[in-house]
Structure 1
Amino acid sequence: MQKMITILSGENNLSGVLHLPEYRNETIPLLIFVHGFVGSKVGEHRLFVKAARYFTERGYGVFRFDFSGCGESDGDYADVTITNQLKEVQDVINYLSSIRGIDKHRITIVGHSMGGAVASLTAASDTRIKQLILWSPVGKPYEDITGILGPKAVHEIVRQGSHDYQGFMISQAFLKDLKKHHPIESVRSFMGPTHIIHARADEQIPKEHAARYANSLNTRVNAEQVVEQYIDKADHTFSGYSFENELFDKSLAWLEGNQAERFVVQK
């Protein structure tokens, strides 16, 4: 089952899609997908749509949504900051936690790229998040995103206050806000199980961030050890059916295998 949902966050309506398994007798675990920089709930080459269908067929509920200024949601990208996106994720979790049939004790947040940074920061501060999965996550928001924008764009933003990046207006406030957030350090506050998968041929975000996240998480006391995984030859968005399938299969194996005793998925 697939249902379009609109969630009010501040003055903006966020567009989302809830996917539920066809057969379910009890409460189900939920995956919340968080997209990245200038992304959407569809994802590059429909990555999140394919992921939603993959996991729903295996007994999971999935929610994917557009941040404000993205996809079909209200707002303009000129007003986007990570701080605002963190508030929007909170409103999304508030809404989803009230849905009948969702197991509040089995909520996993899955973040790709900058969504990985947002997911990490969310998990670190919201105890409703029980598991965290990161796909090629941004680890140093300012350095990573300005690296994508390029020095000319950054100079224009500093000099003129904004830059038109592929039809998305990037503001000076956005860049300043990036400097406030340090997800690799902050994620240590999250005590739940975490899994990291990075594209080994990532051309946008350093694959070394996977080990940096794992090393940070492994400084926690009385928390499960984290071992990062890689997908050989995959680019940042895992373009290609073989890369997508490996990404989904590795994530599912971790969800069902590594956490089998704690989270029993009803088939």
Structure 2
Amino acid sequence: MEHHITITSGTLELAATLHYPVQVEQTSRRSLDKLPIIIIAHGFIGNRIGVDRLFVKAARDFGQNGFMTLRFDYGGCGESTGEYGAGGLDALIEQTRHVVDYALSIDCVDPQRVTLLGHSLGGAVALLAAAKDKRIKTLILWSAVAHPFNDIVKITGKSVYEDAVQQGESDYLGYTFTPGFFNSLANHHPFEQIRKFNGDVLLVHGTDDEVIPADYCFLYQKIFWLRSQGQCDKEVVFQANHTYSSADAARQAIEKTRNWLIYLEKRREEWYDWTI
């Protein structure tokens, strides 16, 4: 069951789609009243559908396995109002937290099982949001950006950044970016925020990613391992590009993620049984 909804974030109206589990009875016995939820944060100038419908496929798969999923468009993307990039990276973090607010307002959502899944720049935003917001319990980073300024300038081309600085704004694929947007990217360093998040983490990256280096996945894991709490697992998808565009790559990314989530649910159930 899917519902198209609107989430308020300041003056913005964020378009979103909420997926309910197909068969709630398939979830664990303690989850019948409260359900886990996965919030999907898309990447740079993306949308809640994803390239080749990646996020739609993922949300429906998660729903088949007992998870609620909420995918949304950042301001100025997809069907949301506003201008993308206005307010910089801080605005994207704040919008993400407002989506978490909405998710936790749903009666059947378990506040102890809120997972944030971010792709590309959305991965960096997800980590930065989780470092500030303790309501986010689990992180999944798909092909995550590690150096926001360098990575995004590499995508847009240096000339777009230079035009913004020299002219006050620049155009990239119909989106307008100001120097403030690029400055906000330079002010955020995801690696430095890792130790502020104590939950479990899954990293997924494709070996053929030409946009965001697969090496970032290994670097992220090394730093996550330095934490005193929370585990960090890694899944590398052979021959997958940045958006997991082939049928096999998408299947693997979704399958590996789903299996990891089910593993966490089983571990939680076993821990509950042991404690009582």
Q: Under a length normalisation based on structure 1, what TM-score does the superposition of the two structures give?
A: 0.95
Number of residue equivalences: 263
**Residues 69-108 of structure 1 deviation map (CA, whole Å, 9 limit, x = unaligned):** 1110010125151100111111111111010111111110
8 Å contact kept, 1:158–1:172: yes
For structure 2, the 5+ residue unaligned runs are: 25-31, 271-276
In structure 2, distance between residues paired with 1:257 and 1:91:
28
Is it true that 1:48 corresponds to 2:23 in the alignment?
no
Q: How far 1:259 moved relative to its partner?
A: 5.2
1:193 to 188, 196, 200: 200
Change (3 A) 1:78 1:251: closer
For structure 1, the 5+ residue unaligned runs are: none
Is it true that 1:229 corresponds to 2:229 in the alignment?
no
Change (3 A) 1:236 1:84: same
Q: How far 1:225 moved relative to its partner?
A: 3.7
8 Å contact kept, 1:106–1:263: no
DSSP 3-state at the match of 2:126? helix
Change (3 A) 1:193 1:43: same
2:255 to 245, 249, 253: 249
Q: Aligned AA for 2:266?
A: A
8 Å contact kept, 2:23–2:64: no
Paired position in structure 1 for 2:109: 102
Q: Aligned AA for 1:81?
A: G
DSSP 3-state at the match of 2:254? helix
In structure 2, distance between residues paired with 1:9 and 1:248:
29
In structure 1, distance between residues paired with 2:5 and 2:160:
35
In structure 2, distance between residues paired with 1:101 and 1:13:
23
1:61 to 54, 65, 68: 68
Q: How does 1:1-267 map to 2 (within 5 A)?
A: 1-24=1-24, 25-77=32-84, 79-221=86-228, 223-258=229-264, 260-262=266-268
DSSP 3-state at the match of 2:253? helix
In structure 2, distance between residues paired with 1:259 and 1:50:
21
Higher helix share: 2
DSSP 3-state at the match of 2:187? coil
In structure 1, distance between residues paired with 2:262 and 2:269:
7
Aligned Cα root-mean-square deviation (Å): 1.4
Change (3 A) 1:232 1:225: same
Q: Quote the sequence identity (%).
A: 38
